[in-house]
Each structure stands twice: as structure tokens, then as C-alpha cells.
């Protein structure tokens, strides 16, 4: 996969590129991650990329021409151009999964009051937000999106299991995890995990995953079709929790 980030602050990505998971993906040729400084595409003699908003008001708006030139310099038929913005669709695991299948992502990071709307309307394939709050620029959202996507690329993580078992991968949260010691301040690891019985352990993990989801994020259960065994487990969990109250 190739990812090009269009930004006014390319240096923000330097540390990230050397960071273990990403550097491994780059070294193994799974990923090519490039930053492109939008300022390099300004024809202004002072390399300015922003201007006052028509109609007045505070702040500056990024002009469309340097962004257009920057995108045109790298866009191919296989590219997906994504503008990071609080107005976009909210990023989630499903979108990360879908984007991990693409060959080339172009991530446009805005600044100031954002980019000229003609860019969003005519040059961009998708507008993505990382949540309902406002950040100063699209760089951190771009990093969030990049990490969520590249960890799904085959070879990036140690084994496929590492993400298949995780929260959100199959629409629900992950089961509880324990390591040594067996007893910590009087709190014990569930006995079944020490039993060596893989069938029972798998069942317990499903139970624990459903319980976590029901308690912490019940909204996630509305969107998924549970198998009969899982639906039975969930009913049991609900009865047990009612009794505890
Ligand atoms: N730029 C500023 N805030 C943002 C957000 N919440 N998501 C994506 N891009 C942004």
C-alpha cells in the first residue's frame, strides 16, 4: 500500500515513520509512506497557501490551487483521496478494514479554518472525521487513520490473530485478558483459563467478549447478528446481571 500525506507540517510524521509497527511495514515493503508539503505547490512568491475568507470572518482558508496541484502530482486511477475534517463520516473499524484493501491513499490535512470548499466538493473522494471534537489540523487524524489501516495489512503484525481477536474487529469488544500472577491482591484469574481445556476457554472468551460489550457498549450489539449459541449466552449474561442488581 502507498500512502501520501499532503500537509503543511511534514516533520510531524518523521517520528511516526521510525516507530516500530510502521517502520517494520516500511522495511518489509508492505507500506510506502510519503509526505508532501502543500507549500511546495504554491506559486506565490512568499509560498503562501492560505487567504482571507470571501464574505469576511475570522481565520484563513487554504486556497484550492496548491492543493489541486499537489493532488494531481500523485493521483492515479487507484487513488482514494481523503480529506480529514470534523465534518466527515466518523472513522471506525469497518472503514479501516475497507481502506486496508486500497492500493493508494492520499490523505489531505487541512489547517486554519479548513480548505476552500471547492476542494472538498470536487477533488476529494471521502471526508473522514476521527470524532466529534475539533483539532487544529488534520495531521493527528491522519496518523490515527494510518495506524488503524496499516496494522491490518498482512505481515504488519506478528500474526493475523493479533487483530482478529481484538475489540471491534467482528463488531463486539474483546474478552478479558489476564497474565501472571494468578492471584493479585486477592483477585484471582478465572479458573477456566488455567484448565488447559481449549474448548472451554474459547467458550469463556466468547462469553467474556459478549459481557464486556453488553456492559460497556450495548449499542454495538444492536448492529450485529448473533449466532444462536451467542444469543443464548447473551440472555444468560443479562439474567445474571439482573440477579446481581
Ligand atoms: N480536523 C480537525 N478536527 C478533526 C477531526 N475531529 N477529525 C478529522 N479531522 C479533523
Right CATH for 2-150 from 3.40.1280.10, 1.10.3720.10, 3.40.50.300, 1.10.10.60 = 3.40.1280.10
Asked whether residue 198 carries a pLDDT value surpassing 90, the answer given is yes
Asked whether residue 132 carries a pLDDT value surpassing 80, the answer given is yes
Question: What CATH architecture does domain 165-244 belong to?
Answer: Orthogonal Bundle (1.10)
Give the pLDDT of residue 21: 85
Q: What number does the ligand 1 atom closest to the CA of 85 have?
A: 9
Confidence of residue 160 (pLDDT cuts 50, 70, 90): low
Q: Residues 214, 215, 216, 221: what is their CA dihedral angle, to the nearest 10 degrees?
A: 10
Confidence of residue 164 (pLDDT cuts 50, 70, 90): confident
pTM: 0.94
Q: Name the residue ranges covered by the structural domains of the chain.
A: 2-150, 165-244
Residue 235: strand, helix, or coil: helix
Q: How far is the CA of 45 from the centre of ligand 1 (A)?
A: 30
Which residue lies with its CA nearest to atom 5 of ligand 1?
86
Cα 245 from Cα 241, distance rounded (Å): 7
Strand partners, 79: 104
pLDDT, tens digit, for every residue of 96-127? 999 999 999 999 999 988 999 999 999 999 99
Tell the burial category of 210 from Cβ atoms under 10 Å away from its Cβ (0-12, 13-18, 19+). buried
Pocket of ligand 1 (CB under 6 A): 84-86, 129-131, 133-135, 138, 141
Amino acid at each position: 500500500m502507498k500512502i501520501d500525506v499532503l500537509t503543511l507540517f511534514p516533520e510531524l510524521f518523521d517520528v511516526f515513520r521510525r516507530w516500530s509497527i510502521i517502520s517494520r511495514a516500511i522495511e518489509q515493503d508492505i507500506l510506502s509512506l510519503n509526505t508532501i508539503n502543500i507549500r511546495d505547490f504554491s506559486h506565490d512568491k512568499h509560498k503562501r497557501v492560505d487567504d482571507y475568507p470571501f464574505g469576511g470572518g475570522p481565520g484563513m482558508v487554504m486556497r484550492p490551487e496548491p492543493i489541486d496541484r499537489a493532488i494531481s502530482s500523485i493521483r492515479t486511477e487507484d487513488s482514494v483521496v481523503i480529506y480529514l475534517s470534523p465534518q466527515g463520516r466518523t472513522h471506525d473499524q469497518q472503514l479501516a478494514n475497507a481502506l486496508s484493501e486500497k492500493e493508494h491513499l492520499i490523505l489531505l490535512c487541512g489547517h486554519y479554518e479548513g480548505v476552500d470548499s471547492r476542494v472538498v466538493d470536487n477533488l476529494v473522494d471521502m471526508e473522514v472525521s476521527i470524532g466529534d471534537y475539533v483539532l487544529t489540523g488534520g495531521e493527528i487524524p491522519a496518523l490515527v487513520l494510518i495506524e488503524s489501516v496499516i496494522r491490518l495489512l498482512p505481515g504488519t503484525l506478528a500474526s493475523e490473530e493479533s487483530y482478529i481477536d481484538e475489540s471491534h474487529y467482528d463488531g463486539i469488544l474483546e474478552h478479558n485478558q489476564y497474565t501472571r500472577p494468578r492471584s493479585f491482591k486477592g483477585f484471582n484469574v478465572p479458573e477456566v483459563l488455567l484448565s488447559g481445556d481449549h474448548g472451554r476457554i474459547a467458550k469463556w472468551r466468547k462469553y467474556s467478549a459478549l459481557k464486556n460489550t453488553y456492559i460497556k457498549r450495548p449499542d454495538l450489539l444492536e448492529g450485529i447478528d448473533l449466532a444462536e449459541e451467542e444469543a443464548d449466552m447473551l440472555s444468560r449474561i443479562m439474567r445474571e446481571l439482573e440477579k446481581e442488581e
